[in-house]
Homo-oligomer: A and B are copies of this chain.
Amino acid sequence: MENKLKIGLIGLGTVGCGVAKVLAKRDDIEIVGAAVKNINKKRDVEIKNLTTDPLTLANNPEIQVLVEVAGGCSVLEALEVAIKNKKHIVTANKELLAKHGAQLFDLARQYGTTILYEAAVAGGIPIIFPIKTSLSANTFSNVAGILNGTTNYILTKMEEENLSYSDCLKKAQELGYAETDPTGDVEGYDAMYKIAILANIVFNKRIDLSKIYCEGITKITANDIKIADELGYKIKLIAQAKKLNKNDEDILDIRVHPMLVDKRKPISEIKNATNAVLLNGFPVDRVMFVGPGAGEFPTSSSVVGDILIIKSEIDKNNGSILPIATCRHGEYAKQIDINETINCYYLSIVAKNTPGEIGRIGTACAKFGINISYIIQKGVVNNNSASIIVITEECFEKDINNMIAEIEGDNITKVVNKIRVMG
């Protein structure tokens, strides 16, 4: 006969309540207690033994698995204590894992416990555990995705309803898709944590967050989206980690920024708060996973899935760890600087409508060895200025930046947006 698994829950917000509701329907898992910020807050689930101190759970000998869905880095100590008390961990906390994952995984290895974190990336989509199991025969070259639902929702609304960024942000906040302080989402940090976690397991290396280039969507205009659409592209916030080979050495190109995505690519079709993860590797070639990136219930699917994986192991062998599911990456990856990367660029330029402007742009491009693949002047806009759109062929980031400095040097030309084009 199977034993009831006893768990502790840190966090009873949206995801925590979802987990509690899903577990309430099962008789094989018992929530022994939960740690919350405010014990008296009204919730639509009933949980016994509420505490404001997560350490109470970390030190409770009855608890076998500590489930953390509170978010933020202040739970680090509680998780460390729990691991030292030989508890397994299930967490949805991308920030914590991206910043302190290495020390947590080391500790878990030392104490023979398991950390699973399916919900930390792409909500309900199973991606972490499949990479570590069914896809473990692969050598990956690339992982990319739409990993933040808030920004994808805003970009979708901007496109479909031809609205400004700030109008769509307001709408997203009203609907609960964006937080009151939306910085973490709209500046790309949330997606950065997630791509760091994915790069970590896909390339089996530790990732230095400070070396990931990160740019959000706040500068994207409805006009950029409209022009991109006319040229056959959608604009998406893409998180990507790619393995390059430089001088016979592997180097990772990891970044988060908006991109023009060819409409013929399936990932361009991912709308609203949906997430997608693309993997390229040998021998699998290319696979894509699509699903809900957040939400009370979809995220609970991943959290409870992880709990059930651990339960199955505990039932089988008194809780020994799962070797495949454990991270083994000891070394830090070499990471390329954004200036050394090669991309195609979309440039939205406004210039005083003086003769020779197109010529000056062309000359500046030539000076830095940049080939133009597309250029159009879209008539004269307000204040006697001309709007010019350029799409370049592949060139170094440092060269496009030098070129931009050159054309902006005349004080009559302004590059209002530079957006990379997905290859």
Contacts and interface: CB of A to CB of B under 8 A. Distances in A.
Contacts of A13: none
A134 interface: yes
A282 B297 contact: yes
Interface in A226-284: 266, 269, 281-284
Interface string A101-139: 000000000000000001000001110111001111110
Contacts of A10: none
Interface in A282-308: 282-292, 295-298, 300-302, 304-308
B315 A317 contact: no
A290 B266 contact: yes
Nearest to A291: B287
A126 B128 CA distance: 12
A316 interface: yes
- How often does this chain occur in the complex, in copies? 2
Contacts of A124: 283-285, 287
Interface in A309-351: 309, 312, 315-317, 320, 322-324
Interface of A: 18, 22, 118, 124-126, 128-130, 133-138, 266, 269, 281-292, 295-298, 300-302, 304-309, 312, 315-317, 320, 322-324
Nearest first, the 3 closest Cβ-Cβ pairs linking A and B are: A283-B297, A126-B134, A137-B304
16 contacts: A18-B283, A124-B283, A126-B134, A129-B133, A129-B134, A130-B130, A137-B300, A137-B305, A269-B269, A281-B301, A283-B296, A284-B297, A285-B291, A285-B298, A288-B289, A316-B320
